[in-house]
Every structure is written in C-alpha cells, then in structure tokens.
Amino acid sequence: MSQLLSDKVAVITGGGRGIGRAVALAFAGEGAHVALIARSEDQLQSTASEINALGRKTITCVADVTERDQVDAAASVVKEAFGAIDILFNNAGGGIEPAQIAQSDPDLWIRDVQVNLFSAYLVTRAFLPLFGPDGGKIINTGSGMGHRSGPGSSAYHVGKAGLWMFTQCLAEEIWERGIEVNELIPGPVATHLTKGRMEPGGPPPFTPSERVKTPEEVAPLALWLASQPPGGPSAQSFSLTRRPI
C-alpha cells in the first residue's frame, strides 16, 4: 500500500508529548522515519518506542531548542543517522508569562519569546543544510494570538507574531530550493500545558464557539502540509480554529 510519506525523514521538536507526539506517530504511520527533539528523555523514549512498533526508524535527541549549542549538536546527530531530511516540524513552544506588561517578570517574558520564536530560528538554521536537492517542507506551529493583539500574555503574542513573520520571510528566501514553509494554527488543544483549563470536546474558557481538540485531531493537517506535492502552498497560515484569527 502506498504511504504518503514513504521513507521521508521528519524532524519534530517537542516530539515527546502532545501535538508533537501525535504528529510524529501520524508521520510514522504514513511511512516516515522520525527524529525527535525535546528536553525530556523519558517522554522521547516513550514516543520512539511507539514509532518503532510501527516499523519505522527513529532517533531521539535530548536538547533545549533555545540553546544554540544543543540544537547544533542535535543536527549533527540527525545528519549522522539519516544523512538528509525532508520535513521539519517546529512544534516546541508554550506560554510562560501570562502577566500584563507592567506586572511581568522580565526573565519570564524574554524566555517566553525565546521558546516560541528564537527556538524555531535556531532549529531551522541548523537543519536547513540537511535538506536535499528535492526540497521539502517546514511547518511551524503558530497561534491565532500571533495574528492579533490582546491584554495579558504579551510575550506569547509577540513570540508567535514573530514566528508568523519568520515563516513568511523564510518561505521567500528558500523557495528556489523547493522547500515550502507554512504555519499551522491548532486552536485550543488539550495538552499538559492546558490541563485543568481545557477538556476535549468542550469549549475553552475564552470563547463558546470553539471546541477543544485532542492532539491527534491536529495531526491530519500537519500530515496534509507535509505530503503536498512540490510546488504546493508556501508562506501561508492554515488554521483549525472556529473563529477569525
């Protein structure tokens, strides 16, 4: 049976849990080999075991993707294991400082932007040389909060807004290499980061029109973006939200 990502190599940050884990398993189910990057070795090994059970190759790299040396070391490990890659999913991120600007902790505010923006820059820069002559796909996990302002969580707004601009700039710089770059906006998802605030199937606290998804419900859109033929969409934002972003 033909598989959408047969023998492709995908790199996924934040791949030990949540959306990253769900997408890693979806990619492996469609024939991809997967390199997983995250800070938690136990979670990485758990996801890797599930991928191996599907008959696909996988490696794990324990790394903080906001640290350049650790990202570069992970890229070296992936190059040694696979030689080249076809897909990069910049998924690591999360909200750290929800306070309003005047009451915010400067260290947490800066860390929030690092996690949501600088990490994607460092990872992308390190892994771009590993894409082969046939090009590939880069998918960045964005947020509707990166497309609009709002009180509170300004660091997250700024980090994701920067990621959206980064996505567009990168797409214009590398299109001649046959690499398409797009943003994926999951909308509200029940993960460890939203535990206690969001339950799958119900509305999130901030709007009744939305429905909280499981991580597995995000995977089909990531798979669609990863499996588009060459010359497909690039510099675009694709959203699973149920309201204007």
Quick check: is 43 in a domain? yes
Tokens representing 185? 């906006």
Structure tokens at 228: 């588009």
Q: Domain with 234 in it: what CATH number?
A: 3.40.50.720
- Domain containing residue 104: 9-239
- Which residue intervals of the chain are DSSP H helices? 18-29, 41-53, 68-82, 106-113, 119-127, 154-174, 215-226
Residues 112-128: pLDDT tens digits? 999 999 999 999 999 99
Number of domains, the chain: 1
Rounded Cα gap, residues 234 and 187, in angstroms? 20
**Cα 90 to Cα 84: distance, rounded to the nearest angstrom:** 17
Q: Is residue 120 part of a domain?
A: yes
DSSP β-ladder status, 87-90 and 58-62: unpaired
pLDDT digits (tens, 9 = 90+) for 126-175: 999 999 999 999 999 999 999 999 999 999 999 999 999 999 999 999 99
Active site residues: 156
4 part of a folded domain: no
User: Does a structural domain hold residue 189?
Assistant: yes
Please check whether residue 3 lies inside any domain of the structure: no
pLDDT at 169: 98
Q: Is residue 60 part of a domain?
A: yes
88 inside domain: yes
Would you place residue 107 in the very low, low, confident or very high pLDDT band (cuts 50, 70, 90)? very high
Reported as a single tens digit per residue, the pLDDT across 200-240 is 888 888 889 999 999 999 999 999 999 999 999 999 999 99
CA distance 220 to 26: 8
Report yes or no on 244 lying in a domain: no
